[in-house]
Structure 1
Amino acid sequence: MFIGNIIGVLVAICCSYGLYFSYNNTGDVALWFSKQTVCEVQDYRTQIVSEDPLLVYVENFVSQTEVSQLLNIGKTRYSPSKLSTGTSGDAYRSSQSAGLPPSEPPVSCVGSRALSLMESFTDASDEFGIPQLVTYKPGQQYKLHYDWFQESMRYKDGRLCNRVTSIFVFLEADCTGGETYFPRVVPTASSLIDDGKAIQNGSFEGIMFKPIPGNALFWVNLPDNRIGDERVLHGGLPVHNGTKTGMNIWPLRCEP
Protein backbone atom coordinates (compact mmCIF):
# COMPACT_ATOMS: atom_id res chain seq x y z
CA MET A 1 0.00 0.00 0.00
CA PHE A 2 2.74 2.45 0.93
CA ILE A 3 5.73 0.85 -0.85
CA GLY A 4 6.47 3.81 -3.13
CA ASN A 5 6.10 6.26 -0.27
CA ILE A 6 8.25 4.13 2.01
CA ILE A 7 11.04 4.08 -0.55
CA GLY A 8 10.74 7.85 -0.78
CA VAL A 9 11.26 8.15 2.96
CA LEU A 10 14.29 5.88 2.91
CA VAL A 11 16.08 7.78 0.15
CA ALA A 12 15.19 11.26 1.38
CA ILE A 13 18.21 13.55 1.76
CA CYS A 14 18.74 17.04 3.02
CA CYS A 15 18.94 19.66 0.28
CA SER A 16 20.81 22.96 0.41
CA TYR A 17 17.74 25.18 0.05
CA GLY A 18 15.90 26.53 3.04
CA LEU A 19 12.13 26.64 2.99
CA TYR A 20 10.79 29.92 4.29
CA PHE A 21 7.12 30.64 4.95
CA SER A 22 4.91 33.51 5.98
CA TYR A 23 4.61 33.81 9.76
CA ASN A 24 1.76 35.24 11.75
CA ASN A 25 0.26 33.45 14.75
CA THR A 26 0.15 29.76 15.62
CA GLY A 27 -2.91 28.39 13.84
CA ASP A 28 -2.36 30.30 10.62
CA VAL A 29 -1.64 28.57 7.36
CA ALA A 30 2.07 28.91 6.63
CA LEU A 31 3.03 29.59 3.00
CA TRP A 32 6.39 28.02 2.21
CA PHE A 33 8.64 29.20 -0.59
CA SER A 34 12.21 28.45 -1.61
CA LYS A 35 15.06 30.73 -0.77
CA GLN A 36 18.69 29.76 -1.03
CA THR A 37 20.39 29.39 2.32
CA VAL A 38 23.31 27.44 3.75
CA CYS A 39 22.17 24.44 5.77
CA GLU A 40 24.12 21.87 7.68
CA VAL A 41 23.99 18.48 5.94
CA GLN A 42 22.68 16.03 8.51
CA ASP A 43 23.34 12.33 8.01
CA TYR A 44 20.12 11.04 9.50
CA ARG A 45 19.02 7.40 9.38
CA THR A 46 15.51 6.03 9.09
CA GLN A 47 13.98 2.80 10.37
CA ILE A 48 10.43 1.69 9.65
CA VAL A 49 8.64 0.83 12.89
CA SER A 50 5.35 -0.04 11.16
CA GLU A 51 4.44 -0.10 7.47
CA ASP A 52 0.67 0.15 7.94
CA PRO A 53 0.10 2.60 9.51
CA LEU A 54 3.39 4.06 8.42
CA LEU A 55 5.51 5.09 11.40
CA VAL A 56 9.22 5.79 10.94
CA TYR A 57 11.94 6.35 13.54
CA VAL A 58 14.57 8.90 12.43
CA GLU A 59 17.91 8.87 14.19
CA ASN A 60 20.20 11.93 14.22
CA PHE A 61 17.58 14.10 12.48
CA VAL A 62 18.96 17.33 13.99
CA SER A 63 22.43 18.11 15.29
CA GLN A 64 23.24 19.19 18.82
CA THR A 65 24.10 22.64 17.47
CA GLU A 66 20.66 22.90 15.88
CA VAL A 67 19.03 21.66 19.09
CA SER A 68 20.70 24.46 21.06
CA GLN A 69 19.76 27.06 18.44
CA LEU A 70 16.10 26.02 18.29
CA LEU A 71 15.76 25.98 22.07
CA ASN A 72 17.32 29.43 22.26
CA ILE A 73 14.94 30.82 19.60
CA GLY A 74 11.90 29.52 21.44
CA LYS A 75 12.85 30.29 25.02
CA THR A 76 10.99 33.63 25.27
CA ARG A 77 7.99 32.57 23.16
CA TYR A 78 6.27 29.99 25.35
CA SER A 79 2.64 30.15 26.43
CA PRO A 80 0.24 27.46 27.72
CA SER A 81 -0.49 24.85 25.05
CA LYS A 82 -3.94 24.92 23.48
CA LEU A 83 -6.21 22.19 22.18
CA SER A 84 -7.48 22.28 18.59
CA THR A 85 -10.67 23.88 19.93
CA GLY A 86 -8.60 26.88 21.07
CA THR A 87 -9.17 26.09 24.75
CA SER A 88 -6.39 25.55 27.26
CA GLY A 89 -7.48 22.06 28.40
CA ASP A 90 -4.94 22.01 31.24
CA ALA A 91 -6.09 18.61 32.51
CA TYR A 92 -5.62 17.11 29.05
CA ARG A 93 -2.63 19.03 27.69
CA SER A 94 -0.50 20.69 30.33
CA SER A 95 2.62 21.68 28.39
CA GLN A 96 3.92 25.04 27.12
CA SER A 97 4.20 25.76 23.37
CA ALA A 98 6.10 28.25 21.22
CA GLY A 99 5.70 29.04 17.51
CA LEU A 100 9.00 29.51 15.68
CA PRO A 101 9.60 32.36 13.19
CA PRO A 102 10.92 31.67 9.66
CA SER A 103 13.45 34.49 9.81
CA GLU A 104 15.73 32.23 11.84
CA PRO A 105 17.98 30.04 9.61
CA PRO A 106 17.94 27.00 11.96
CA VAL A 107 14.13 26.87 11.70
CA SER A 108 14.31 27.08 7.92
CA CYS A 109 16.99 24.41 7.63
CA VAL A 110 15.19 21.90 9.83
CA GLY A 111 11.99 22.63 7.91
CA SER A 112 13.80 21.94 4.65
CA ARG A 113 15.06 18.63 5.98
CA ALA A 114 11.57 17.70 7.17
CA LEU A 115 10.10 18.44 3.76
CA SER A 116 12.67 16.20 2.06
CA LEU A 117 11.61 13.38 4.39
CA MET A 118 7.89 13.94 3.78
CA GLU A 119 7.89 14.82 0.08
CA SER A 120 6.46 11.46 -1.05
CA PHE A 121 3.34 12.19 1.01
CA THR A 122 2.77 15.84 0.14
CA ASP A 123 1.58 17.65 -2.97
CA ALA A 124 3.20 20.73 -4.44
CA SER A 125 0.13 22.70 -3.37
CA ASP A 126 0.34 21.63 0.29
CA GLU A 127 1.20 24.25 2.89
CA PHE A 128 2.49 24.05 6.43
CA GLY A 129 1.45 24.89 9.94
CA ILE A 130 3.82 27.01 12.00
CA PRO A 131 6.63 24.82 13.46
CA GLN A 132 6.03 24.52 17.17
CA LEU A 133 8.19 23.83 20.20
CA VAL A 134 6.46 22.08 23.08
CA THR A 135 8.04 21.67 26.51
CA TYR A 136 7.02 19.56 29.50
CA LYS A 137 7.96 19.95 33.16
CA PRO A 138 7.36 17.39 35.96
CA GLY A 139 3.79 16.10 35.94
CA GLN A 140 2.95 17.63 32.55
CA GLN A 141 1.63 15.51 29.69
CA TYR A 142 -0.50 15.38 26.55
CA LYS A 143 -3.06 12.60 26.83
CA LEU A 144 -3.94 10.32 23.90
CA HIS A 145 -4.93 12.32 20.82
CA TYR A 146 -4.71 12.55 17.03
CA ASP A 147 -2.74 15.18 15.16
CA TRP A 148 -5.36 15.08 12.39
CA PHE A 149 -8.68 16.81 12.89
CA GLN A 150 -11.96 14.88 12.74
CA GLU A 151 -13.35 17.97 11.04
CA SER A 152 -10.86 20.07 9.12
CA MET A 153 -9.82 23.18 11.01
CA ARG A 154 -10.77 26.58 9.63
CA TYR A 155 -7.59 28.63 9.61
CA LYS A 156 -7.44 32.40 9.77
CA ASP A 157 -7.42 32.78 5.99
CA GLY A 158 -10.83 31.07 5.94
CA ARG A 159 -9.83 27.75 4.38
CA LEU A 160 -10.36 24.31 5.89
CA CYS A 161 -7.13 22.36 6.42
CA ASN A 162 -5.99 19.07 7.89
CA ARG A 163 -2.58 17.65 8.83
CA VAL A 164 -1.31 15.17 6.23
CA THR A 165 1.67 13.84 8.20
CA SER A 166 3.56 14.65 11.40
CA ILE A 167 7.18 14.92 12.46
CA PHE A 168 7.95 15.15 16.15
CA VAL A 169 11.60 15.91 16.93
CA PHE A 170 13.06 15.30 20.38
CA LEU A 171 15.22 18.30 21.30
CA GLU A 172 15.65 18.17 25.07
CA ALA A 173 15.32 15.12 27.32
CA ASP A 174 16.90 15.92 30.66
CA CYS A 175 14.13 13.93 32.31
CA THR A 176 12.65 10.61 33.30
CA GLY A 177 9.31 9.59 31.83
CA GLY A 178 7.91 11.62 28.94
CA GLU A 179 7.76 8.76 26.45
CA THR A 180 5.74 9.17 23.26
CA TYR A 181 3.19 6.37 23.26
CA PHE A 182 1.36 4.77 20.30
CA PRO A 183 -1.08 2.22 21.79
CA ARG A 184 -2.44 0.98 18.44
CA VAL A 185 0.82 0.47 16.53
CA VAL A 186 2.27 -3.04 16.38
CA PRO A 187 5.98 -2.68 15.55
CA THR A 188 7.52 -4.86 12.85
CA ALA A 189 11.13 -4.33 14.00
CA SER A 190 12.66 -4.96 17.40
CA SER A 191 16.08 -3.33 17.07
CA LEU A 192 14.87 -0.03 18.57
CA ILE A 193 13.67 -1.94 21.62
CA ASP A 194 16.94 -3.88 21.82
CA ASP A 195 18.88 -0.59 21.59
CA GLY A 196 16.85 1.03 24.39
CA LYS A 197 15.22 3.64 22.15
CA ALA A 198 11.73 2.17 22.54
CA ILE A 199 9.77 0.10 25.04
CA GLN A 200 7.41 -2.77 24.36
CA ASN A 201 6.27 -5.42 26.83
CA GLY A 202 3.26 -7.40 27.90
CA SER A 203 2.05 -4.81 30.42
CA PHE A 204 0.63 -2.48 27.71
CA GLU A 205 -0.38 -2.53 24.06
CA GLY A 206 1.56 -0.74 21.34
CA ILE A 207 4.98 0.87 21.66
CA MET A 208 6.58 3.75 23.58
CA PHE A 209 9.53 5.83 22.36
CA LYS A 210 12.01 7.31 24.80
CA PRO A 211 12.83 11.01 24.31
CA ILE A 212 16.37 11.08 22.89
CA PRO A 213 17.68 14.49 21.74
CA GLY A 214 18.23 14.75 18.00
CA ASN A 215 15.99 11.82 17.07
CA ALA A 216 12.50 12.09 15.57
CA LEU A 217 9.30 10.24 14.73
CA PHE A 218 7.46 10.55 11.42
CA TRP A 219 3.99 9.19 10.69
CA VAL A 220 1.11 9.51 8.22
CA ASN A 221 -2.16 11.00 9.49
CA LEU A 222 -4.20 10.98 6.27
CA PRO A 223 -3.56 7.90 4.12
CA ASP A 224 -4.74 7.47 0.55
CA ASN A 225 -8.44 7.71 1.38
CA ARG A 226 -7.86 11.13 3.00
CA ILE A 227 -9.60 9.94 6.16
CA GLY A 228 -7.75 10.30 9.46
CA ASP A 229 -6.05 7.07 10.53
CA GLU A 230 -7.23 6.15 14.03
CA ARG A 231 -4.26 3.81 14.48
CA VAL A 232 -1.88 6.77 14.90
CA LEU A 233 -3.48 7.71 18.21
CA HIS A 234 -0.60 8.81 20.46
CA GLY A 235 0.24 10.73 23.60
CA GLY A 236 3.07 12.33 25.54
CA LEU A 237 3.30 10.48 28.83
CA PRO A 238 3.86 12.47 32.05
CA VAL A 239 7.38 13.68 32.77
CA HIS A 240 8.48 12.43 36.20
CA ASN A 241 11.32 14.91 36.71
CA GLY A 242 13.41 17.24 34.58
CA THR A 243 12.41 18.75 31.22
CA LYS A 244 11.34 17.34 27.86
CA THR A 245 11.12 19.56 24.78
CA GLY A 246 10.15 18.59 21.25
CA MET A 247 9.36 20.22 17.92
CA ASN A 248 6.20 19.61 15.85
CA ILE A 249 6.18 20.01 12.06
CA TRP A 250 2.89 19.52 10.14
CA PRO A 251 2.20 19.81 6.40
CA LEU A 252 -1.40 20.82 5.69
CA ARG A 253 -3.89 19.69 3.04
CA CYS A 254 -6.27 22.62 2.47
CA GLU A 255 -9.55 22.84 0.60
CA PRO A 256 -9.74 25.61 -2.04
Structure 2
Amino acid sequence: MGATLKILLPSLLVLALCLTPLFTPPHVQLQLQQLFSALYIPSQPNIPSNPESNTNPYEIKTHTLSTSPRVIYIENFITPLEAAELVSLSHSNFRPSPLYSDSGTRSQDSSYRSSLTATLPSSPIVKTVEQRARSLPFFAPSVKIKPLVVQKYGLGKEYKDHYDWFLPNPTLSGNIPSTIFVYISANRTGGGTNFPRLFLSPSSSAASSSTSSSGGEMKEDEERWCEFIDCDRPSHSGTTFLPRVGNAVFWQNIDSKGTGIPTTLHAGLPVTSGEKMGMNIWSWVDY
Protein backbone atom coordinates (compact mmCIF):
# COMPACT_ATOMS: atom_id res chain seq x y z
CA MET A 1 0.00 0.00 0.00
CA GLY A 2 1.17 3.54 -0.47
CA ALA A 3 2.61 6.24 -2.61
CA THR A 4 5.09 4.48 -4.86
CA LEU A 5 2.55 2.04 -6.14
CA LYS A 6 0.69 1.74 -9.41
CA ILE A 7 -2.20 0.22 -11.28
CA LEU A 8 -1.45 -2.65 -13.66
CA LEU A 9 -3.81 -4.05 -16.28
CA PRO A 10 -4.21 -7.78 -15.58
CA SER A 11 -4.30 -8.57 -19.30
CA LEU A 12 -0.78 -7.17 -19.70
CA LEU A 13 0.70 -8.56 -16.52
CA VAL A 14 1.38 -12.13 -17.64
CA LEU A 15 3.11 -10.94 -20.82
CA ALA A 16 5.18 -8.43 -18.87
CA LEU A 17 6.31 -11.04 -16.37
CA CYS A 18 7.33 -13.36 -19.18
CA LEU A 19 9.42 -10.58 -20.72
CA THR A 20 11.10 -9.57 -17.46
CA PRO A 21 14.37 -11.44 -18.18
CA LEU A 22 14.57 -9.72 -21.58
CA PHE A 23 14.53 -6.27 -19.97
CA THR A 24 16.75 -7.08 -17.01
CA PRO A 25 20.51 -7.14 -17.76
CA PRO A 26 22.26 -10.42 -16.88
CA HIS A 27 24.39 -8.82 -14.16
CA VAL A 28 21.24 -7.39 -12.58
CA GLN A 29 19.50 -10.77 -12.70
CA LEU A 30 22.50 -12.32 -10.94
CA GLN A 31 22.53 -9.57 -8.33
CA LEU A 32 18.83 -10.06 -7.64
CA GLN A 33 19.17 -13.82 -7.40
CA GLN A 34 22.02 -13.50 -4.92
CA LEU A 35 20.07 -10.95 -2.89
CA PHE A 36 16.73 -12.73 -2.73
CA SER A 37 17.36 -16.45 -3.07
CA ALA A 38 18.88 -16.83 0.39
CA LEU A 39 16.18 -14.69 1.99
CA TYR A 40 12.94 -15.85 0.43
CA ILE A 41 13.18 -19.63 0.29
CA PRO A 42 10.10 -21.19 1.98
CA SER A 43 12.25 -23.58 4.03
CA GLN A 44 14.40 -20.79 5.44
CA PRO A 45 15.09 -22.00 8.99
CA ASN A 46 15.17 -18.67 10.81
CA ILE A 47 11.65 -17.68 9.78
CA PRO A 48 9.38 -18.45 12.75
CA SER A 49 6.05 -20.09 11.96
CA ASN A 50 4.59 -20.55 15.44
CA PRO A 51 2.16 -17.78 16.51
CA GLU A 52 3.98 -17.50 19.84
CA SER A 53 7.48 -17.33 18.33
CA ASN A 54 10.10 -14.61 17.95
CA THR A 55 9.40 -12.81 21.22
CA ASN A 56 11.99 -10.04 21.72
CA PRO A 57 12.32 -7.10 24.16
CA TYR A 58 9.43 -5.38 22.33
CA GLU A 59 7.34 -8.57 22.69
CA ILE A 60 7.02 -8.84 18.95
CA LYS A 61 5.27 -12.00 17.81
CA THR A 62 5.25 -13.16 14.19
CA HIS A 63 2.66 -15.30 12.43
CA THR A 64 3.61 -16.83 9.08
CA LEU A 65 0.46 -16.98 7.00
CA SER A 66 2.10 -17.79 3.67
CA THR A 67 5.55 -19.00 2.66
CA SER A 68 5.21 -18.43 -1.09
CA PRO A 69 5.00 -15.50 -1.25
CA ARG A 70 6.25 -14.75 2.23
CA VAL A 71 3.42 -13.06 4.17
CA ILE A 72 3.87 -12.54 7.91
CA TYR A 73 1.56 -10.87 10.41
CA ILE A 74 3.50 -9.05 13.15
CA GLU A 75 2.02 -8.37 16.58
CA ASN A 76 3.33 -5.46 18.68
CA PHE A 77 5.70 -4.11 16.05
CA ILE A 78 5.34 -0.67 17.66
CA THR A 79 4.00 0.39 21.05
CA PRO A 80 0.85 2.52 21.52
CA LEU A 81 3.03 5.49 22.52
CA GLU A 82 5.15 5.09 19.38
CA ALA A 83 2.01 4.86 17.25
CA ALA A 84 0.69 8.10 18.76
CA GLU A 85 4.03 9.82 18.12
CA LEU A 86 4.01 8.72 14.47
CA VAL A 87 0.44 9.99 14.06
CA SER A 88 1.45 13.36 15.52
CA LEU A 89 4.55 13.55 13.32
CA SER A 90 2.49 13.05 10.17
CA HIS A 91 -0.33 15.52 10.78
CA SER A 92 1.03 18.62 9.03
CA ASN A 93 2.35 16.79 5.97
CA PHE A 94 -0.69 15.17 4.36
CA ARG A 95 -1.35 15.57 0.65
CA PRO A 96 -3.65 13.71 -1.76
CA SER A 97 -2.15 10.28 -2.39
CA PRO A 98 -0.52 9.89 -5.82
CA LEU A 99 -0.41 6.99 -8.23
CA TYR A 100 2.83 5.98 -9.95
CA SER A 101 3.21 4.12 -13.22
CA ASP A 102 6.04 1.67 -13.91
CA SER A 103 7.90 4.47 -15.69
CA GLY A 104 7.71 6.64 -12.57
CA THR A 105 5.04 8.97 -13.95
CA ARG A 106 3.04 10.57 -11.16
CA SER A 107 -0.71 11.10 -11.38
CA GLN A 108 -3.81 11.34 -9.22
CA ASP A 109 -7.17 9.60 -9.47
CA SER A 110 -9.35 9.94 -6.38
CA SER A 111 -11.83 7.42 -7.79
CA TYR A 112 -9.09 4.79 -7.52
CA ARG A 113 -7.06 6.08 -4.60
CA SER A 114 -8.75 8.53 -2.26
CA SER A 115 -6.41 8.44 0.75
CA LEU A 116 -3.99 11.11 1.96
CA THR A 117 -0.22 10.56 2.18
CA ALA A 118 2.44 12.12 4.43
CA THR A 119 6.19 11.57 4.14
CA LEU A 120 7.72 11.50 7.60
CA PRO A 121 10.73 13.73 8.33
CA SER A 122 13.83 12.23 9.88
CA SER A 123 13.43 11.94 13.65
CA PRO A 124 14.41 9.64 16.52
CA ILE A 125 11.13 7.69 16.28
CA VAL A 126 11.61 7.17 12.53
CA LYS A 127 15.14 5.88 13.09
CA THR A 128 13.88 3.57 15.83
CA VAL A 129 11.23 2.10 13.54
CA GLU A 130 13.72 1.61 10.71
CA GLN A 131 16.16 -0.12 13.05
CA ARG A 132 13.40 -2.38 14.35
CA ALA A 133 12.43 -3.35 10.81
CA ARG A 134 16.03 -4.29 10.06
CA SER A 135 16.13 -6.45 13.19
CA LEU A 136 13.42 -8.75 11.86
CA PRO A 137 14.94 -12.08 10.75
CA PHE A 138 13.08 -12.03 7.44
CA PHE A 139 14.10 -8.46 6.48
CA ALA A 140 16.89 -8.43 3.88
CA PRO A 141 19.95 -6.86 5.55
CA SER A 142 21.50 -5.45 2.37
CA VAL A 143 18.53 -3.41 1.13
CA LYS A 144 17.86 0.28 1.63
CA ILE A 145 14.73 1.64 3.31
CA LYS A 146 12.76 4.31 1.48
CA PRO A 147 11.50 7.34 3.43
CA LEU A 148 8.65 6.25 5.68
CA VAL A 149 5.20 7.41 4.64
CA VAL A 150 1.84 7.44 6.41
CA GLN A 151 -1.46 6.81 4.64
CA LYS A 152 -4.68 8.25 6.09
CA TYR A 153 -8.07 6.81 5.21
CA GLY A 154 -11.11 8.80 6.31
CA LEU A 155 -14.74 7.77 5.93
CA GLY A 156 -15.28 6.05 2.59
CA LYS A 157 -11.64 6.40 1.54
CA GLU A 158 -9.85 3.50 -0.14
CA TYR A 159 -7.06 2.35 -2.43
CA LYS A 160 -8.19 -0.21 -4.97
CA ASP A 161 -6.17 -3.22 -6.16
CA HIS A 162 -2.50 -2.42 -6.79
CA TYR A 163 1.04 -3.75 -6.42
CA ASP A 164 4.03 -2.40 -4.53
CA TRP A 165 6.54 -3.64 -7.13
CA PHE A 166 7.41 -2.22 -10.52
CA LEU A 167 7.72 -3.89 -13.88
CA PRO A 168 11.18 -3.51 -15.47
CA ASN A 169 11.58 -0.05 -16.94
CA PRO A 170 14.73 1.76 -18.13
CA THR A 171 13.65 4.93 -16.30
CA LEU A 172 13.69 3.21 -12.91
CA SER A 173 16.87 2.13 -11.17
CA GLY A 174 15.49 -0.43 -8.74
CA ASN A 175 12.50 -2.10 -7.14
CA ILE A 176 10.72 -2.76 -3.84
CA PRO A 177 11.52 -6.29 -2.62
CA SER A 178 9.33 -6.13 0.49
CA THR A 179 6.70 -4.10 2.32
CA ILE A 180 5.85 -3.68 5.98
CA PHE A 181 2.50 -1.97 6.54
CA VAL A 182 2.11 -0.82 10.15
CA TYR A 183 -1.24 0.20 11.64
CA ILE A 184 -0.74 3.37 13.71
CA SER A 185 -4.39 4.43 14.16
CA ALA A 186 -7.48 2.28 13.73
CA ASN A 187 -10.51 3.92 15.34
CA ARG A 188 -12.70 2.64 12.54
CA THR A 189 -14.85 -0.06 10.99
CA GLY A 190 -13.94 -1.44 7.59
CA GLY A 191 -10.61 -0.44 6.12
CA GLY A 192 -9.00 -3.88 6.07
CA THR A 193 -6.00 -4.72 3.91
CA ASN A 194 -7.28 -7.19 1.31
CA PHE A 195 -5.18 -9.60 -0.77
CA PRO A 196 -7.73 -10.96 -3.30
CA ARG A 197 -5.32 -13.60 -4.68
CA LEU A 198 -4.07 -14.84 -1.32
CA PHE A 199 -6.28 -17.66 -0.09
CA LEU A 200 -5.76 -18.95 3.42
CA SER A 201 -7.76 -21.30 5.59
CA PRO A 202 -7.10 -23.22 8.81
CA SER A 203 -6.50 -26.32 6.71
CA SER A 204 -3.96 -24.68 4.38
CA SER A 205 -0.24 -25.33 4.70
CA ALA A 206 0.36 -21.72 5.72
CA ALA A 207 -2.34 -21.42 8.33
CA SER A 208 -1.61 -24.85 9.72
CA SER A 209 1.76 -23.59 10.92
CA SER A 210 -0.02 -22.82 14.19
CA THR A 211 -1.83 -26.13 14.54
CA SER A 212 -0.77 -29.09 16.60
CA SER A 213 0.92 -31.99 14.85
CA SER A 214 -2.21 -34.06 15.38
CA GLY A 215 -4.43 -31.38 13.89
CA GLY A 216 -6.85 -31.82 16.76
CA GLU A 217 -7.07 -28.15 17.76
CA MET A 218 -8.40 -26.77 14.49
CA LYS A 219 -11.25 -24.80 16.04
CA GLU A 220 -8.92 -23.09 18.50
CA ASP A 221 -6.43 -22.31 15.73
CA GLU A 222 -9.16 -20.94 13.49
CA GLU A 223 -10.25 -18.57 16.23
CA ARG A 224 -6.62 -17.55 16.71
CA TRP A 225 -6.19 -16.58 13.05
CA CYS A 226 -9.49 -14.70 13.14
CA GLU A 227 -7.89 -12.24 15.55
CA PHE A 228 -5.87 -10.95 12.59
CA ILE A 229 -7.92 -11.92 9.54
CA ASP A 230 -11.50 -10.87 8.75
CA CYS A 231 -13.13 -14.29 8.86
CA ASP A 232 -16.57 -12.80 8.14
CA ARG A 233 -15.69 -11.94 4.55
CA PRO A 234 -16.49 -14.50 1.82
CA SER A 235 -13.64 -16.95 1.26
CA HIS A 236 -13.58 -16.17 -2.48
CA SER A 237 -12.55 -12.57 -1.69
CA GLY A 238 -9.07 -13.66 -0.58
CA THR A 239 -7.46 -12.68 2.73
CA THR A 240 -8.22 -9.44 4.57
CA PHE A 241 -6.03 -8.32 7.47
CA LEU A 242 -7.74 -6.44 10.28
CA PRO A 243 -6.23 -3.08 11.32
CA ARG A 244 -4.91 -3.35 14.88
CA VAL A 245 -2.85 -0.46 16.28
CA GLY A 246 0.78 -1.46 16.72
CA ASN A 247 0.52 -4.53 14.51
CA ALA A 248 1.88 -4.87 10.98
CA VAL A 249 1.88 -7.02 7.87
CA PHE A 250 5.08 -7.97 6.05
CA TRP A 251 4.99 -9.31 2.52
CA GLN A 252 7.51 -10.24 -0.14
CA ASN A 253 6.98 -8.40 -3.44
CA ILE A 254 9.69 -9.98 -5.60
CA ASP A 255 10.79 -13.57 -6.12
CA SER A 256 14.34 -14.93 -6.20
CA LYS A 257 14.72 -13.84 -9.85
CA GLY A 258 13.69 -10.27 -9.11
CA THR A 259 10.25 -10.72 -10.70
CA GLY A 260 7.14 -9.17 -9.17
CA ILE A 261 4.76 -11.64 -7.53
CA PRO A 262 1.15 -11.34 -8.81
CA THR A 263 -0.24 -12.87 -5.60
CA THR A 264 0.71 -9.68 -3.74
CA LEU A 265 -2.08 -7.71 -5.42
CA HIS A 266 -3.75 -5.88 -2.55
CA ALA A 267 -6.13 -3.07 -1.64
CA GLY A 268 -7.01 -0.76 1.22
CA LEU A 269 -10.73 -1.42 1.62
CA PRO A 270 -13.12 1.50 2.21
CA VAL A 271 -13.42 2.76 5.78
CA THR A 272 -17.07 2.51 6.80
CA SER A 273 -16.76 4.60 9.97
CA GLY A 274 -13.99 6.48 11.73
CA GLU A 275 -10.45 6.70 10.37
CA LYS A 276 -7.49 4.41 9.67
CA MET A 277 -3.83 5.38 9.42
CA GLY A 278 -1.05 3.07 8.30
CA MET A 279 2.68 3.50 7.78
CA ASN A 280 4.62 1.98 4.89
CA ILE A 281 8.15 0.65 5.34
CA TRP A 282 9.35 -0.09 1.82
CA SER A 283 12.70 -1.72 1.23
CA TRP A 284 14.56 -0.75 -1.94
CA VAL A 285 17.21 -2.47 -4.04
CA ASP A 286 19.21 -0.67 -6.74
CA TYR A 287 19.74 -2.33 -10.10
Please classify the TM superposition score into its range, dividing by the shorter chain length.
0.7 to 0.9
Equivalent pairs: percent with the same residue? 33
* Residue 139 (structure 1) aligned to one of 135, 156, 160: 156
**Greater strand share, structure number:** 1
- Within 5 Å, give how 1:1-256 maps onto structure 2: 1-4=41-44, 7-8=46-47, 41-84=57-100, 85-102=105-122, 104-117=123-136, 120-124=138-142, 126-151=143-168, 154=171, 160-187=173-200, 188-189=206-207, 191=222, 194-200=225-231, 201-202=233-234, 204-255=236-287
Q: Distance in 1 between matches of 2:81 and 2:170?
A: 35
Where 1:7 maps in the other structure, the secondary structure is coil
Task: Give TM-score scaled by structure 1 length.
Answer: 0.79
Q: Distance in 2 between matches of 1:51 and 1:94?
A: 31
Where 2:46 maps in the other structure, the secondary structure is helix
Q: Distance in 1 between matches of 2:170 and 2:247?
A: 29
| Runs of 5+ unmatched residues, structure 1 | 15-40
**Greater helix share, structure number:** 2
The question of whether the paired residues in 2 share the 8 Å contact of 1:147 and 1:166 is answered with yes
> Structure 1, residues 136-159: CA drift from partner, whole Å, max 9, x if none?
0011100011001123585xxxx6
> Structure 1, residues 82-111: CA drift from partner, whole Å, max 9, x if none?
111311121111100111122x11111111
Q: Distance in 2 between matches of 1:153 and 1:214?
A: 38
Q: Distance in 1 between matches of 2:165 and 2:155?
A: 27
The question of whether the paired residues in 1 share the 8 Å contact of 2:60 and 2:74 is answered with yes
Partner letter of residue 91 of structure 1? S
Alpha-carbon distance change, 143 to 109 in structure 1, aligned in 2, over 3 angstroms: same
Q: Distance in 2 between matches of 1:210 and 1:251?
A: 23
Q: Distance in 1 between matches of 2:265 and 2:87?
A: 27
Q: Distance in 2 between matches of 1:224 and 1:193?
A: 31
Task: Give TM-score scaled by structure 2 length.
Answer: 0.71
> Structure 1, residues 163-204: CA drift from partner, whole Å, max 9, x if none?
010000011111111010011112232546654321245453
The question of whether the paired residues in 2 share the 8 Å contact of 1:179 and 1:209 is answered with yes
Alpha-carbon distance change, 164 to 12 in structure 1, aligned in 2, over 3 angstroms: farther
Q: Distance in 2 between matches of 1:225 and 1:205?
A: 28
